[in-house]
């Protein structure tokens, strides 16, 4: 069995990569993708920790083991989908408005 540390290290590398991508890339689409990479890095950590720290569920109706981390990952995926839907809609309107998807040109809020 692969130790949990390996998962965590992979997750951290992915998270930092995503963060860096979000910081340095000017294309909004790529920024969105970077956010997704970060979220998936978190998902990986959640799932890995859940698997390595199996505990009895504290729900009264369910007597098996707790899969809170796994379930939480699903929630993250659902939020991610929503985020992408909204994000792409914003990108689309930004493109229609300015003819570009570069984030440093999106300064309509200035002044």
Partner 1 sequence: MPLFPSHDYSLIAVILGMPLLGAFINGIWGKRLGDAAVKVMALSAVGISFAASVTAFAALAHLTSQEHEAHVRLTWNAWEWMHTTGGAGNVVPVAVRFSIDALSGVMMLVVTGVGFLIHLYSTSYMAGDKGYARFFAYLNLFIFSMLVLILADNLALLFVGWEGVGLCSYLLIGFWYETRSNAAAGKKAFIANRIGDFGLLIAMFLLVHYTGSLDWTGIENGASSLISLSGQGRVSVWPPGGGEYTGPLHWLQPAVPLTVLPATAIGLALLLGCTGKSAQIPLYVWLPDAMAGPTPVSALIHAATMVTAGIYLVCRLSFVFVLSPFTMMAVAVVGASTALFAATIAVVQNDIKKVLAYSTISQLGFMFLGVGVGAFEAGFFHVFTHAFFKACLFLGAGSVIHAMHARIHDGEKSQDIRNMGGLRKWLPHTHWTFLAATLAIIGFPLTSGFFSKEEILYRTLVNHTVNPSSGRYPKYHFFEPPAALGMVLFGAAVLAASFTAFYMCRLYFLTFWGDFKGWTVGRPSLLARQELAAEDHDAHATDDDAHGHPAEDLSTPGYAPHESPWEMTVPLMVLAVFALAAGLLNHFGGDKHPMDHWLEPVFRAAREGAIVVAQGQTEEWAQAQEHVVTAFGVLAFAAGTALAWWMYVAKRGAPAKQLAAALPGLHKLVLDKWRIDELYDATILAGVDSVAETSAAADKYIVDGLLARVTSLLVAAAGAVLRAMQTGVVHVYGATMVVGLAAMGWFFAVPHPNATVADAGSDDYVVTAAPGLGYGYRWDADGDGTPDKVEFGPDATLKLHVEPGKTTTVRLEVRNAFGFVKGRNIQVTHSPAAISAL
99 near partner 1, judged by CB under 8 A: no
What is the C-alpha separation between 60 and 103, in angstroms, rounded?
A: 49
CB of 53 to partner 1, least distance (A): 11
Q: Which is nearer to partner 1, 30 or 47 (CB)?
A: 30
Radius of gyration of the chain (CA): 18
Q: Which residues contact 55 (CB under 8 A, 6 or more apart)?
A: 65, 66
27 near partner 1, judged by CB under 8 A: no
Q: Which of 89, 91, 90 is nearest to 100 (CA)?
A: 91
Q: Which is nearer to partner 1, 56 or 90 (CB)?
A: 90
Question: What phi and psi, each to the nearest 5 degrees, are found at residue 102?
Answer: -85, 135
104 near partner 1, judged by CB under 8 A: yes
- Tell which one of 22, 33, 36, 66 touches partner 1 (CB under 8 A): 22
111 near partner 1, judged by CB under 8 A: yes
């Amino acid at each position: 069995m692969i130790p949990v540390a390996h998962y965590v290290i992979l997750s951290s590398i992915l998270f930092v990569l995503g963060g860096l991508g979000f910081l340095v890339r000017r294309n909004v689409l790529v920024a969105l993708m970077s956010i997704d990479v970060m979220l998936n890095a978190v998902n990986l950590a959640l799932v890995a920790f859940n698997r390595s720290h199996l505990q009895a569920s504290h729900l009264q109706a369910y007597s098996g083991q707790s899969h809170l981390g796994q379930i939480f990952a699903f929630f993250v995926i659902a939020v991610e989908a929503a985020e992408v839907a909204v994000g792409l809609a914003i990108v689309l309107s930004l493109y229609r408005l300015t003819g570009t998807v570069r984030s440093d040109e999106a300064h309509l809020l200035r002044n």
